[in-house]
Amino acid sequence: MSDPAVYAAGAVCWRLIDGKVHVLLIHRTVYGDVTIPKGKVDAGETLPQTAVREIEEETGLAVALGVPLGVSTYSLLNGREKIVHYWAAEISAGAIQHSTFVPNGEVAAIEWVTIKKARTYLSYTPDVDIIDAFAKLVDTGVTRTFALIALRHGKAVQPGTWDGPDCSRPLTERGVKQAAAIVPTITAWQPQRIVSSTATRCVTTVAPLAAATGIQIKRTERYSQDAFEQGIADVRSGIGKRVRSRKTAVICSHGPVLPEILHEIALATGTTHGAYISDAASLNTGSFSVVHLSSDNPSAGIVAIETHSPAL
């Protein structure tokens, strides 16, 4: 039996210098190579969580993830397969000012270079492929992005075993664990808003996220299952507001409402509806889809969608 694959995650960190896009490369001490910041997944981590942690450890920069850029797969010297997931990550001026990087036993130096120079500096072809994927976004005018994170509430007590109103059904023990488990992953995108259906199971799902981020939960009937089934939900205006704000937001709702939420995001951004929209809305409890949109031109359509589930 072959050894299991090694999973890792990282990001193409980028910023504008004199109006031109530059990306961050690291010069590793031990290997004497030049590569993109990345690292192995620690036990219990998700890939987005790993990417954020590794970038901070290697470069001293606290980042928010952006658009997924792809996956590199290659063989290590010991024959094991290594699978690395990458995102884009814009580096703010504040992050630069608060960087804690100093040369160390792992990383000797960090360097900001143009995309053209990065292609010649990088030591490995898979890294160049990831830079090329990022360059395609730059060429199409999509660099700055924000995300709408459509979250299905955690596992709740079944309707048949609950005597009160449906909207008051609480989370099960598993649902409570799911609500806690998703926090490190969702915070990798640094949401600025948390919006929830008024149902207890939704509000309780985002409560740990609100506590971790300090963001107040905005409760609304727009995304409630009761309002949706009564035909009085107002998903369209809610999504329109979120797209106009161009701020990363978490929207916690219900299984029957999620297809409408994803449909309205597609309509609000001029995106052609396809199976991938339906797939993104078909979520298990505690799972979420991250819908990436251009900050400069949301009407250019959905840039990417990725779906994540708690490991429970």
pLDDT at 60 exceeding the cut of 90: yes
What CATH superfamily is the domain 6-139? Answer: Nucleoside Triphosphate Pyrophosphohydrolase (3.90.79.10)
Of 183, 154, 184, 181, the C-alpha closest to 169 is 154
Average confidence score pLDDT of the chain: 95
Q: Tokens 């504008």 map to which residue?
A: 16
Measured CA to CA in angstroms, residue 33 lies from 28, 39, 109 at distances of 6, 15, 11
Dump pLDDT digits (tens) for 88-125: 999 999 999 999 999 999 999 999 999 999 999 999 99
Euclidean distance between CA atoms 99 and 91, whole angstroms: 10
Q: What is the dihedral of CA 106, 69, 182, 8, to 10 degrees?
A: -30
Examine the pLDDT at 218 and tell me if it is beyond 90: yes
Q: How confident is the model at residue 293 (pLDDT cuts 50, 70, 90)?
A: very high
In CATH terms, the superfamily for domain 145-308 is Phosphoglycerate mutase-like (3.40.50.1240)
| pLDDT at residue 170 is higher than 70 | yes
Interval 184-212 mean pLDDT: 98
Global confidence as pTM: 0.95
Give the model's pLDDT for residue 77. 80
Query: Taking the domains of the chain in order of start, what are their residue ranges?
Result: 6-139, 145-308
Q: How far is 93 from 163, CA to CA, in rounded Å?
A: 53
For the cut 90, the answer to whether the pLDDT of residue 134 exceeds it is yes
pLDDT at 179: 98
Please state, in angstroms and rounded to a whole number, the distance separating the CA atoms of residues 181 and 231: 33
Q: How many residues are there in the chain?
A: 312
What is the C-alpha separation between 259 and 228, in angstroms, rounded?
11
Is residue 68 predicted with pLDDT exceeding 90?
A: yes
What is the distance between the alpha carbons of residues 187 and 212, in angstroms, rounded to a whole number?
9
DSSP reduced 3-state for 71: strand
1 pLDDT higher than 60 = no
pLDDT, one tens digit per residue, over 240-289 is 999 999 999 999 999 999 999 999 999 999 998 888 999 999 999 999 99
Q: How confident is the model at residue 2 (pLDDT cuts 50, 70, 90)?
A: low
Residue 312 has pLDDT above 80, yes or no: no
